[in-house]
Structure 1
Amino acid sequence: MDEVTALLRERIYSQQYPTGAWLKQEELSEELGVSRTPLREALRRLEQEGLIKSDARRGVRVISGDVQTLLAAYELRAVIDGLAARLAAANVSVARLRDLRQVIAAQRKAVDPWNPRGYSKLNVDLHEMIAQMTNNEFVIAQTSIIRMTAQVFAPVSMIEPSSALRAIDEHTAIVDAIELADGVTAERLARDHIEKTIHQLRSGAPRESTAGYLRAPA
């Protein structure tokens, strides 16, 4: 069951099953070579994570990429990321800081030559690492929202290097505050980082879709 859930989740993250796509259980069962019982349980878990929605008549659908859905997701992320940065600043260690700095350095290398897929993965890695630093199981349990916003809603082909560089500078400032054990500043910077994307969405994205609008998912 866990393997089926992980496989379906990764296919959604990689956009093999794109936003808004309808998933037919009978086809999934045959494709994955599993019976309906573990498949239904896997779909139930993915619905709890917010990746899919069930319709009594039409079946199961990957969450849509409309602006209102994305806004709701990023509003939660602003809270989660801010809290995670504050708590991480209280649990800072040399090893964890080294790991964060290495990810940021790898992000910069991914900009020139431009590697959007590599950058996107590193972006998710950085935010998840900060959440893991909190040692708070409830914060860590919310990290699926990071992948949802950064991968499900934002195709890597749409990310621009200039926006990525801006995001990397913001990542650096957040990690600097964590290193100084300045939780207040870390939280503020982390929330600001996400809220810039929220402002973009509110000020001009097409309401029916986010495709082509988010240039560097936070």
Structure 2
Amino acid sequence: MTGSIERQAELVEAMNRPEKPSADQRQRYMYESIRQRIGMLHYPPGMMINEMQLANEFGVSRTPLRRVLQQLSYEGLVDIRNGIGTRVTDIDMKTFKDIYDLRILLAESMGSLSPNWVTERHRKGLDEMIARARDLKENKNIDGYADLSNDLETLICDLIGSKPAREMTDLLYYQVARIWCTFLPNLDWGDALGETLEELQGMSDALAANDVGTFGKVRAMYLRTMLKKVSRYISSE
């Protein structure tokens, strides 16, 4: 999702139109769908991906699907081996902290990395996420939380004007999203959603003031909290 909420909506709309979507739209849709399944642990580490099954699901030949899998391999989410197949990679806890440290630096720099203009669409989108988080706090749903996190990441990327910074932010998020999903069931749900609501409210206040820099600092603070939580859990095991 190297871009905007609007692009995601356009992709879904294009796939649902009576006329045939473009090759680029199909490939992007496949890429985002498979990447999200990996991030949400619907495709868990170690799972072998059935290329023929996926090609049939998306209504494509194996050639464009393999291009998508090559991209996911480059991003470290799958491992492709000749004669064996495509396997979802294991979670790399060794680089977990390094990735979070870089994500924190990128978030703290949002105000200086050619920030995009804050629009009413961003504000309304965040308000909707706050409502969803409140509902999730009362009604535990891991997939619902993952969907919320993915949508928030899309909004964050939409506020970053620098293409390299936006692409790096997006790449790093999906490299560790499944780690957070793995540990979330072992953490206190009320505390986790309470912290998420605090983050979203802080971001909402920043957008109300058209302040992308403060928005990024709120994000960085929350990432530090997440890193400490997972690190403490790992140390206690």
Which residue number in structure 1 is paired with residue 70 of structure 2?
A: 44
Q: 1:20 to 1:30 in 2, by over 3 A?
A: closer
Partner of 1:17: 43
CA distance in 1, matches of 2:119, 2:159: 9
CA distance in 1, matches of 2:220, 2:211: 14
Query: 1: distance between equivalents of 2:71 and 2:210?
Result: 36
Equivalent in the alignment of 1:117: 143
Aligned pairs, how many?
205
Per the alignment, do residues 152 and 20 of structure 1 end up closer, same or farther by CA in structure 2, a change over 3 Å counting? farther
CA apart distance, 1:193: 1.0
Counting only pairs closer than 5 Å after superposition, residues 161-180 of structure 1 correspond to structure 2 as 161-180=190-209
Identity percentage of aligned residues: 22
**Counterpart Cα distance in 2 of 1:52 and 1:15:** 13
Aligned residue number for residue 177 of structure 2: 150
- Point out 4+ residue stretches in structure 1 off by more than 6 angstroms: none
Q: Secondary structure at the match of 2:76?
A: coil
The equivalent residue for 1:32 is: 55
Q: 1:189 aligns with which of 202, 218, 227?
A: 218
Q: 1:100 to 1:37 in 2, by over 3 A?
A: same
Given candidates 163, 168, 179, the residue that maps to 1:137 is 163
Partners of 1:149 and 1:90 in 2: CA distance? 25
Unaligned runs of 5+ in 2: 1-25
2 CA distance for matches of 1:29 and 1:52?
16
How far 1:194 moved relative to its partner?
A: 0.6
Q: Once the 2 structures are TM-superposed, how far is the Cα of residue 85 of structure 1 from its aligned partner?
A: 6.2
Structure 1-normalised TM-score? 0.73
Secondary structure at 1:205 match in 2: helix
- Asked if structure 2 preserves the Cα contact closer than 8 Å seen for 1:70 and 1:149, the reply is yes
Equivalences for 1:55-74 in 2 at 5 Å? Answer: 59-74=85-100
Single out whichever of 145-154 and 104-113 deviates more from structure 2: 145-154
Secondary structure, counterpart of 1:135 in structure 2: coil
2:14 aligned partner: none
Residues 103-134 of structure 1, C-alpha deviations (whole Å, 9 max, x = no match): 11221122113333222211221232122023
CA RMSD of aligned residues (A): 3.3
